[in-house]
Amino acid sequence: MTGRDETERLNNIPVWEVGAWLGLGLPKFGSTRCPFPDHEDKSPSFSIDKSGFRWKCFGCDKHGGSIDLVKHFLGCNFFDAKKWLSRSSSGFVPDRGSSANSRPTLAQTASEASCIDRLPDTEILGAFLEMCRMQPCAMTYLKTRAFTSNTIASFSLGYINSAFAVVGKLIGAYGFERVSKSGLLASNATPDKVRTSLWDNSILVPFMERDQIVYLQARAISPCSGVSRWRNLTGKPRPIFNADALSKDSREIWICEGVFDTISAAQLGHDCIGILGVSTNLDEKQITLMKNKLVRIVLDWDDMGQKKAKSLERLLTRFGVFAVISPQPLEGVKDLNEYLVERSRKK
């Protein structure tokens, strides 16, 4: 088979099927929120055409077929994306009725993928956070979101003043290749032209699991127009936020949408986890930890958030987990952080 034939074969795999292998919940056709880490899509801008083989995001202007979906989601080049998809689809015969569950998961195929090392480099991520301590300007911004000093400290939030300077120190200590594999560099970065995945003037949010940093996300305080406020590590799977809350001996757990809503729920006194957008799915291990708990689904009170809430409710019910969708607590608020802000104003 020629390279062109292989490209054609891979692009004849339905987009939703490839999305399932990447851990994304994409429809067979129609619109949904953009799944890419560098695009915080507040409306359904990502569209799969009726054939099921082509997609386009009208928000970030990316488009293509199944190979391009892998390329943009993993943050690798076309040839590495093609290699990943070729290995993941070995023996696959395109069939619109096939089940995504019959294919290997991203975790199962990641060890074979040469384009990316998906395990977190906890040492480098920890060093990055250590050099990005909280600053007064960031504290001022977080106070506008109604977060208290104790809440900010409990989540070890930091502030990125100069990502380039911090990454430069890490490259000097650990080498370009290792820092690149950590996800702190953009996919087009080179030793001669260093580009960072996380940007300056941003709140830095560490994702902790068993006292280790497994992921970093950054929220720009003053984002440029048309640019996503949230930045993610290049090519790393986005875990749930505050995952250790699942292991607590509590009778109730909240599922929130995004980091700030999760922090808001914690400040309100609830054990909680956060999913990073409506395309995020829970795995079986996480769902098992929810058994014998009441699960409150507190996602954004908009069409896409409530659609995802109903999907989560159905999923958890199938696993025997008792879940309820929380209604909008105050007229006009779109998410839990807005509710926290309004609540703090009325005190």
The more confidently predicted of residues 234 and 89 is: 234
Looking at domain 3-110, its CATH architecture is Alpha-Beta Complex (3.90)
Task: Compute the CA torsion angle 332, 337, 339, 342 (nearest 10 deg).
Answer: -100
User: What residues pair up with 190 in beta bridges, in sequence order?
Assistant: 193
Is the pLDDT at 93 greater than 70, yes or no?
no
Confidence of residue 1 (pLDDT cuts 50, 70, 90): low
- Where do the DSSP E strands lie in the chain? 30-32, 46-48, 55-57, 63-64, 158-160, 202-209, 212-220, 230-232, 252-257, 272-275, 294-298, 322-325
**Which 8-state DSSP code applies to residue 118?**
-
Buried b (16+ CB within 10 A) or exposed e, 128-166: bbebbebeeebeebbeebbbeeebbeebebbbbbebeeb
Q: Cα 313–318–320 angle (5° rounding)? A: 95
- In the chain, domain spans: 3-110, 122-232, 243-345
Tens of pLDDT, residue by residue over 298-315, are 999 998 889 889 989 998
Is the pLDDT at 66 greater than 50, yes or no?
yes
Query: What is the model's pLDDT at position 87?
Result: 77
Lowest mean pLDDT, pick from 129-133, 188-192, 332-336: 188-192
The more confidently predicted of residues 19 and 139 is: 139
Is the pLDDT at 346 greater than 70, yes or no?
yes
243-345 fold? Dna Topoisomerase Vi A Subunit; Chain: A, domain 2 (3.40.1360)
Look at the block and give the residue holding tokens 């109604």. Answer: 146
What integer is the mean pLDDT of 48-60? 91
Lowest mean pLDDT, pick from 7-11, 201-205, 213-217, 336-340: 7-11
Query: What is the model's pLDDT at position 219?
Result: 95
Report the chain's mean pLDDT, rounded to a whole number.
87
Query: What is the model's pLDDT at position 53?
Result: 93
**Rounded distance between C-alpha atoms, residue 268 and residue 203, angstroms:** 21
- Phi then psi dihedrals of residue 145, to 5 deg: -90, 10
Lowest mean pLDDT, pick from 60-64, 113-117, 186-190, 265-269: 113-117
What integer is the mean pLDDT of 79-89? 83
**Which 8-state DSSP code applies to residue 1?**
-
Query: What is the model's pLDDT at position 252?
Result: 97
What's at 82, amino acid-wise? Answer: K
SS3 category, 174: helix
Is the pLDDT at 95 greater than 60, yes or no?
no
Query: What is the model's pLDDT at position 140?
Result: 96
Q: Does domain 122-232 have CATH number 3.90.980.10?
A: yes
What integer is the mean pLDDT of 27-41? 83
